[in-house]
């Protein structure tokens, strides 16, 4: 029993370290550490919100392989990687007001979409159809995230529609464009 408890504590510390490591990636590019201050404020005031609040998107993304990080970050962009997501508009407004009053900082915030489900985030093209061109996934296939975060990213960036290919895709790109155009026209 003690061994299991120690293992759980170690795993909890590792998750905290991972959160902080990802947060540092954002903070490194900021002049005023506003995102870090906002995360600390949110942690200390989590009970003030009636709905779900998600700290910066980057802290929720788990990329399946290190070599895919560049594709995911390129597709999402730096601003949304540091965005706080809210389920309720009142919580978003409260967060912004209190954060500015208490810490004198502003951060990127957004509402979670209500008009889309996780099922809408499924890849909408067939890998088998494009495999010959080196396409092996959509950007959405390269990482996991909590459903609300995934829905936000797919709605904002259409990650489920962006194909990812190998080097051979660049060589066959001209044919892929022609192939895709012909397939679209024939339906």
Q: Does residue 22 carry a pLDDT above 60?
A: no
Residue 59 banded pLDDT, cuts 50, 70, 90: confident
Q: How much is the pLDDT for 6?
A: 59
How much is the pTM?
A: 0.75
Least confident segment among 51-55, 60-64, 155-159, 171-175:
171-175
Rg from Cα positions in the chain: 20
pLDDT tens for 79-124 read 788 899 999 999 999 999 999 999 999 999 999 999 999 999 999 8
- Cβ(84)–Cβ(42) below 8 Å: yes
Query: What residues does each domain of the chain span?
Result: 2-185
22 touches 59 (CB < 8 A): yes
- Please give, one letter per residue, the 3-state secondary structure of the chain: CHHHHHHHHHHHHHHHHHHHHHHHHHHCCCCCCHHHHHHHHHHHCHHHCCCCEECCHHHCCEECCHHHHHHHHHHHCHHHHCCEEECCHHHHHHHHHHHHHHHCCCCCEEECCCCCCHHHHCCCCCHHHHHHHCEEEEHHHHEECCHHHHHHHHHHHCHHHCEEECHHHHHHHHHHHHHHHHHHHCC
The lowest-confidence range among 19-28, 39-48, 151-160 is 19-28
* Whole-angstrom distance, CA of residue 26 vs CA of residue 36: 9
Q: At what angle do helices 147-157 and 69-76 cross, to 10 degrees?
A: 60
Report whether pLDDT(152) > 90: yes
């Amino acid at each position: 029993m003690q061994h299991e408890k120690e293992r759980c504590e170690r795993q909890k510390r590792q998750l905290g370290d991972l959160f902080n490591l990802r947060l540092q990636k954002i903070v490194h590019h900021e002049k005023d550490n506003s995102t870090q201050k906002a995360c600390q404020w949110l942690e200390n005031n989590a009970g003030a919100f009636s709905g779900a609040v998600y700290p910066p998107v980057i802290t929720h993304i788990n990329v399946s392989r290190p070599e895919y990080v560049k594709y995911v970050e390129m597709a999402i962009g730096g601003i949304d990687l540091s965005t706080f997501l809210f389920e309720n508009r009142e919580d978003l407004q409260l967060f912004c007001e209190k954060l500015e009053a208490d810490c004198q900082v502003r951060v990127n915030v957004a509402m979670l979409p209500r008009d889309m489900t996780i099922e809408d985030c499924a890849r909408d093209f067939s890998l088998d159809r494009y495999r010959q061109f080196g396409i092996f996934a959509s950007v959405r296939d390269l990482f996991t995230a909590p459903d609300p975060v995934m829905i936000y990213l797919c709605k904002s960036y259409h990650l489920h529609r962006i194909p990812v290919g190998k080097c051979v895709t660049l060589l066959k790109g001209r044919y892929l464009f022609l192939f895709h155009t012909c397939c679209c026209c024939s339906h």
